[in-house]
Amino acid sequence: MFRPEIRVLDCTIRDGGLMNEWKFEKAMVKEVFHSLAKAGVDYVELGYRADKSMFSPDDFGAWRFCDEEDLREVAYECDTKVSVMCDVGRTDYSTFLPSDESIVKLYRVATYVPDIDKAIHMGKHIKDLGYEVSVNIMAVSHALEPDLDEALAQLAQTNFDMVYVVDSFGYFYSEQMHYLTEKYLANLPGKQIGIHCHNNRQLAFANTIEGIIKGANYLDGSIYGIGRAAGNCPLELLMGFLKNPKFDIRPIFDLIEKHFVELKKDLRWGYEIPYAITGILNKHPRAAMAFLKGVHGNTFSEFYDELLNVDDV
């Protein structure tokens, strides 16, 4: 698959940080950025811009906050752009520098459908500072259709650059990916559509391909699939699929060999039955993460039955 408009965004540190409170060593993050630049990855998302009055730097690693000086220690100005994510309701507006003073090129605003007004408010603030802006609408498998339509109509009125189809719970398969990608494209003329998938049912890479087929050009992946719970679309599979000659898969293999095979044993993202169960049932993975930490003493089948009988998410 080759389409010149395609852009790959690596979210290894940002989404992977959900598994270790963003406590990645600086030297390793630097190696990740430099290797991904060599691989031709278009964007590297190095973490969240979280509000320090809400999250203590004593409890979290540097990539929870992405201070400018930390970013500059690991990244450099090149064709590979630095991305940072910010959550609606957890971000201090005063921490955004004017874009010409920052190494960051893209901010991605993560929001739920009911918070879309707040997301647009924050996105405008960031856009006015000169950055690229994406809005990533999470948990859309729990959204009511008219609410989603209204959110897209509001986003269509903005000058933001991208809007992402996000499968937060690893619940979608091709038919929903087709439906949502086509809906976003039709309702957001002039904007790029992105795809961010979770791998609970081993469908993150497949769903990303389906997004590409329908016209999404911004594609999230993470090294060896690292990310919350079952993780994300493995970047190496995505790069092996894309035929754009600017990409080189080898630096990603090298990173996996040097760091991520071992890291996976430690952080334990990836396919496991409790994550499959929350994916099958369209539930947030937090119940599965608690189960795996032994908070529930149940069997897989009991966990399944328990979730079947829970109405909330």
The residues that touch its own copies, with contacts defined as CB under 8 A, are 173-175, 199, 201-207, 209-210, 213, 224, 234, 236-237, 240-241, 249-250, 253-254, 256-257, 261, 270-271, 273, 276-277, 280, 299-301, 304-305
b/e map of 263-291 (b: 16 or more CB within 10 Å)?
bbeebebbbbebbbbbbbbbbebebbbeb
What is the SS3 assignment for 165?
Answer: strand
Q: How far is the CB of 234 from its own copies (least distance, A)?
A: 7
Residue placing its CB nearer to its own copies in the complex, 153 or 295: 295
Q: Nearest approach, Cβ of 219 to its own copies (angstroms)?
A: 14
Rounded CA-CA distance 251/296 in Å is 40
Q: What is the largest CA-CA distance in the chain?
A: 54
Conformational region of residue 18, where left means phi above 0, alpha means psi within -120 to 50, and beta covers everything else = alpha
Name which of 83 and 278 has its Cβ closer to its own copies.
278
**Which residue stretches of the chain are H helix?**
12-16, 26-39, 68-74, 116-128, 145-156, 174-187, 204-214, 235-241, 250-255, 261-267, 273-280, 286-292, 300-308
- Which lies closer to its own copies via its Cβ, residue 218 or residue 224? 224
Backbone angles phi, psi at 286, to 5 degrees: -60, -35
Minimum Å gap between C-beta 201 and its own copies is 5
Q: How far is the CB of 283 from its own copies (least distance, A)?
A: 12
Q: Which is nearer to its own copies, 102 or 199 (CB)?
A: 199
As measured in angstroms, the least distance from the Cβ of 129 to its own copies is 39
255 Cβ neighbours under 8 A, 6+ residues apart: 31, 32, 35, 223
* Token pair recorded at residue 16: 């992977």
Instruction: Decide: 36 and 251 in contact? Cβ < 8 Å.
Output: yes
Q: How many CB atoms lie within 10 A of CB 56?
A: 10
The distance of closest approach from Cβ of residue 145 to its own copies in the complex, given in angstroms and rounded to an integer, is 21
Q: Which C-beta is closer to its own copies: that of 86 or that of 177?
A: 177
C-beta closer to its own copies: residue 139 or 212: 212
Q: Which is nearer to its own copies, 123 or 274 (CB)?
A: 274
CB of 195 to its own copies, least distance (A): 14
